[in-house]
Chains A and B, each alone.
Chain A
């Protein structure tokens, strides 16, 4: 009991300082697979980690720069296929995995620029629609160009990463730690970017593009940088994800995947890195773990309910309820909260929200 108390107070002390919090998160992240002690759980964590990377990338585009992107899965597809084509028997090319991390994210980034250059002068929703179109075009094109991409079969038998003589194989644990490393890197990059000149320019554009332009910000190149950055993160995710699965196929990158990643941001809190991570973990847990296993889970609780036919209903209800009752996300960024509740202290937040809704309803 005494020990427990001491442990709790240690955790509490850690939580109070930023460095302590970071350390705590790291410890938890490293300990998780050992707490789970189950390869299926570790496997889930590794897959979820790849989606955390994707969410962090999309967060730069949507959360930081305020560019609505409904076709982000297209970049994920490009990153994954780039990896698959350069590390598989498809063309007999087997570049080293660690080099491909850079190559694939570079290729995805270039495509971000190629798409962004002509379209980024479009405003708000039009950009959303163009990206939606792009998101439809890319996987269908991969499907159709079957002589290079394997068509509906995709590309299989991808190379597995290795460090020296240690091969990653089919055990999920090394993949998890690799993804964890990539996430740490991505978080470091993203948080430094946010506080950099470029990051402030993004936020200025998000708040008021016209004003930003008048302040001397080159809005086109700044937005392009966001697009390229976001896309290159998906290249990292593509390598990590595809190498573990050993397969890419066109049906992994549909519109639903773009929406899935976007929902992670909205759920967690756009623009806020911890929020985005939490949002993506929750949705991954829901989509890939809790809902598919829902029926077995309920049977385990002694309830004889069959959920497999109702996944869409449950998922839909969760999305709607979440948005209705907490549209700013679970962990909103400080700026966004400030915007939404200007001039209010914490105590007034609820009242302010209530006032907003009341106004809307009546």
Chain B
């Protein structure tokens, strides 16, 4: 029998719905499903991870996701919650066709919320995705820690209030990295005072993080008496920066600032600076270019670059060394700029979940308990130093390290204490 188009449409719709419902129900029921697994693993508790891990965003999303995976694996190895529960991750991708997408992020958060075994989440990576997610986690009381959002409006001011309309008094959103306004100001001080730069050319990647940081640097550097020769925004997926850098060179800058990540052009810009004769000019950037990938891409031209990291001197922190060694052993690749942040975010949540389990007398804790303990985090030891949260959800970590690339390696040359 040949079906008519419409009845086939009905059948196919039903099939699609059933498929979708199936995937969905698996994710919601897998906690009970995995209780039948061997070993006395008991019930499963999950940490939801929402990051962009495909397409153009893969280069930065995957190393970040790996940070969480490592934290969870270590927790299970070290007998999470006395072995009463098994810890797992729910890894969701918020990139649609290779680009981080706020609607996909919102969908993923809804999925976490619907899955009762998810007690906390790590993510998102991008600030605009955060804007679509914070109202939802706020509504549902699910705690989320972002490894990388730096946009001021997510935690402070009117913008932040508008994201918390469902429960204005509750905050479910935290982040382990420093806000743009703090980091940008610190970088401007480094440029004007420590390096004595007078004429700087600013380039940013026209994304939320990069442009936000560059805008703050721009304003602060002018305030400190410096001259901004130009402030240009590059285009996504651009490979050729020679015309832009030729333009910069014509203004004869004594420094170039880059707002953005290694993957959005930070390494390539530094590399091509030497092609146009700007190789000896200092290059400054934020934590977005403070990853081994930067030195890999820029090669020998990386020398003379300065960047900040929201942590005390990483080379002196045993937990940082340990983390980097464990990461490289597990994933056989370099640590990304936000791997340690994601690892720390997951560690904080794991600690909070363990405390909540103790409170609940060894039973499955509630999301509210976990949120309470995450919010109360203070002086938490991590690869990025001691971390704690203020009432807005911002990190109280008071220091930034200033790194300089010398001989192809980043070396901490100063530790800057921030005013809050």
Q: Report A's interface with B, CB cutoff 8 A.
A: 15, 18, 21, 24-25, 28, 32, 35-36, 38-41, 43-44, 47, 89, 140, 143-144, 146, 151-154, 156-157, 169-170, 172, 241, 245-247, 249, 251-252, 254, 256-257, 259-260, 269, 272, 274-275, 277-278, 281-282, 285, 287-293, 295-297, 299-301, 308-309, 311-312, 315, 330-334, 346
In angstroms, Cα B235 to Cα A38, docked, is 40
In angstroms, Cα B21 to Cα A287, docked, is 15
Residues from chain A with a CB closer than 8 A to the CB of B16 are 278, 281-282, 285
The answer to whether A35 touches B128 (Cβ under 8 A) is: no
Of B90-98, B350-358, B391-399, B403-411, which stretch is located at the interface?
B90-98
In angstroms, Cα B94 to Cα A299, docked, is 19
CB-CB under 8 A for A152 and B26, given A170-B139, A256-B97, A292-B93: no
The answer to whether B208 touches A152 (Cβ under 8 A) is: yes
Q: Chain B 89-132, CB within 8 Å of chain A: the 1/0 string?
A: 01111111111111110111011011100000000000110011
In angstroms, Cα B10 to Cα A331, docked, is 11
| B23 in the interface (beta carbon within 8 A) | yes
| B62 in the interface (beta carbon within 8 A) | yes
| B54 in the interface (beta carbon within 8 A) | yes
22 residue pairs A–B, Cβ–Cβ below 8 Å:
A15-B4, A21-B6, A21-B10, A44-B20, A89-B162, A146-B211, A152-B207, A156-B163, A247-B128, A247-B132, A278-B9, A288-B107, A289-B20, A289-B24, A292-B104, A293-B24, A295-B91, A309-B54, A312-B55, A330-B12, A331-B8, A331-B12
The answer to whether B9 touches A274 (Cβ under 8 A) is: yes
The answer to whether A274 touches B6 (Cβ under 8 A) is: yes
| B360 in the interface (beta carbon within 8 A) | no
Q: Which of A18, A40, A154, A278 has the most CB of B within 10 A?
A: A40
| B299 in the interface (beta carbon within 8 A) | no
The answer to whether B24 touches A38 (Cβ under 8 A) is: yes
Residues from chain A with a CB closer than 8 A to the CB of B2 are 346
| B361 in the interface (beta carbon within 8 A) | no
The answer to whether A35 touches B17 (Cβ under 8 A) is: yes
Output the nearest chain B residue to A311 by Cβ-Cβ distance.
Answer: B54
In angstroms, Cα B206 to Cα A144, docked, is 8
The answer to whether A41 touches B128 (Cβ under 8 A) is: no
- A268 → chain B closest CB, angstroms: 9
Residues from chain B with a CB closer than 8 A to the CB of A21 are 6-7, 10
The answer to whether B233 touches A285 (Cβ under 8 A) is: no
Residues from chain B with a CB closer than 8 A to the CB of A295 are 91
The answer to whether B26 touches A140 (Cβ under 8 A) is: no
- B113 → chain A closest CB, angstroms: 7
| B282 in the interface (beta carbon within 8 A) | no
Chain B 10-29 interface residues, beta-carbon cutoff 8 Å to A: 10, 12-14, 16-17, 19-21, 23-28
The answer to whether B107 touches A251 (Cβ under 8 A) is: no
Q: DSSP majority for the A interface?
A: helix
- A137 → chain B closest CB, angstroms: 12
Residues from chain A with a CB closer than 8 A to the CB of B28 are 38
A43, A157, A269, A297: the one contacting B26 at CB < 8 Å is A297
The answer to whether B102 touches A247 (Cβ under 8 A) is: yes
The answer to whether A291 touches B106 (Cβ under 8 A) is: no
The answer to whether A331 touches B9 (Cβ under 8 A) is: yes
- B241 → chain A closest CB, angstroms: 18
Residues from chain A with a CB closer than 8 A to the CB of B5 are 269, 272, 274-275, 331-334
Sample of 9 further A-B pairs with CB below 8 A, known A297-B27, A308-B54:
A36-B21, A36-B24, A40-B110, A281-B17, A292-B107, A293-B92, A295-B91, A309-B62, A311-B93
The answer to whether B26 touches A296 (Cβ under 8 A) is: yes
The answer to whether B102 touches A245 (Cβ under 8 A) is: yes
The answer to whether B211 touches A309 (Cβ under 8 A) is: no
Q: How large is the interface on B (under 10, 10 to 19, 20 to 34, 35 or more residues)?
A: 35 or more
In angstroms, Cα B5 to Cα A18, docked, is 11
- A326 → chain B closest CB, angstroms: 12
Q: Chain B 159-179, CB within 8 Å of chain A: the 1/0 string?
A: 100110010000000000000
Output the nearest chain B residue to A251 by Cβ-Cβ distance.
Answer: B99
Chain B 267-303 interface residues, beta-carbon cutoff 8 Å to A: none
The answer to whether B94 touches A292 (Cβ under 8 A) is: yes
The answer to whether B111 touches A293 (Cβ under 8 A) is: yes
B27, B211, B212: the one contacting A296 at CB < 8 Å is B27
Residues from chain A with a CB closer than 8 A to the CB of B377 are none
Output the nearest chain B residue to A43 by Cβ-Cβ distance.
Answer: B110
Chain B 56-93 interface residues, beta-carbon cutoff 8 Å to A: 58, 62, 65, 90-93
Output the nearest chain B residue to A332 by Cβ-Cβ distance.
Answer: B5
In angstroms, Cα B4 to Cα A6, docked, is 22
In angstroms, Cα B108 to Cα A275, docked, is 28
- B33 → chain A closest CB, angstroms: 6
Residues from chain B with a CB closer than 8 A to the CB of A156 are 131, 159, 162-163
Output the nearest chain B residue to A42 by Cβ-Cβ distance.
Answer: B110
| B153 in the interface (beta carbon within 8 A) | yes
CB-CB under 8 A for A251 and B19, given A38-B114, A170-B136, A331-B9: no
Q: Which 7 A-B pairs have the closest CB atoms?
A: A274-B9, A300-B26, A256-B97, A157-B162, A40-B110, A40-B114, A40-B111
The answer to whether B9 touches A287 (Cβ under 8 A) is: no
In angstroms, Cα B4 to Cα A97, docked, is 39
CB-CB under 8 A for A152 and B97, given A40-B114, A331-B5: no
Residues from chain A with a CB closer than 8 A to the CB of B12 are 278, 281-282, 330-331
Output the nearest chain A residue to B104 by Cβ-Cβ distance.
Answer: A288
In angstroms, Cα B101 to Cα A38, docked, is 22
Residues from chain B with a CB closer than 8 A to the CB of A259 are 97
The answer to whether B13 touches A25 (Cβ under 8 A) is: yes
- B239 → chain A closest CB, angstroms: 17
Residues from chain B with a CB closer than 8 A to the CB of A308 are 53-54, 62, 65, 91, 93
In angstroms, Cα B90 to Cα A170, docked, is 23
Output the nearest chain A residue to B21 by Cβ-Cβ distance.
Answer: A36
CB-CB under 8 A for A296 and B90, given A247-B131, A252-B103, A278-B9: yes
In angstroms, Cα B111 to Cα A289, docked, is 9
- B95 → chain A closest CB, angstroms: 8
Residues from chain B with a CB closer than 8 A to the CB of A291 are 93
| B135 in the interface (beta carbon within 8 A) | yes
| B151 in the interface (beta carbon within 8 A) | yes
Residues from chain A with a CB closer than 8 A to the CB of B131 are 153-154, 156, 246-247, 249
In angstroms, Cα B106 to Cα A301, docked, is 25
| B30 in the interface (beta carbon within 8 A) | yes
A143, A246, A274, A309: the one contacting B53 at CB < 8 Å is A309
B6, B99, B166: the one contacting A170 at CB < 8 Å is B166
- B19 → chain A closest CB, angstroms: 6
Residues from chain B with a CB closer than 8 A to the CB of A249 are 102, 128, 131
The answer to whether B17 touches A256 (Cβ under 8 A) is: no
The answer to whether B19 touches A290 (Cβ under 8 A) is: yes
In angstroms, Cα B6 to Cα A332, docked, is 11
Output the nearest chain B residue to A47 by Cβ-Cβ distance.
Answer: B103
The answer to whether A292 touches B108 (Cβ under 8 A) is: yes
In angstroms, Cα B17 to Cα A281, docked, is 9
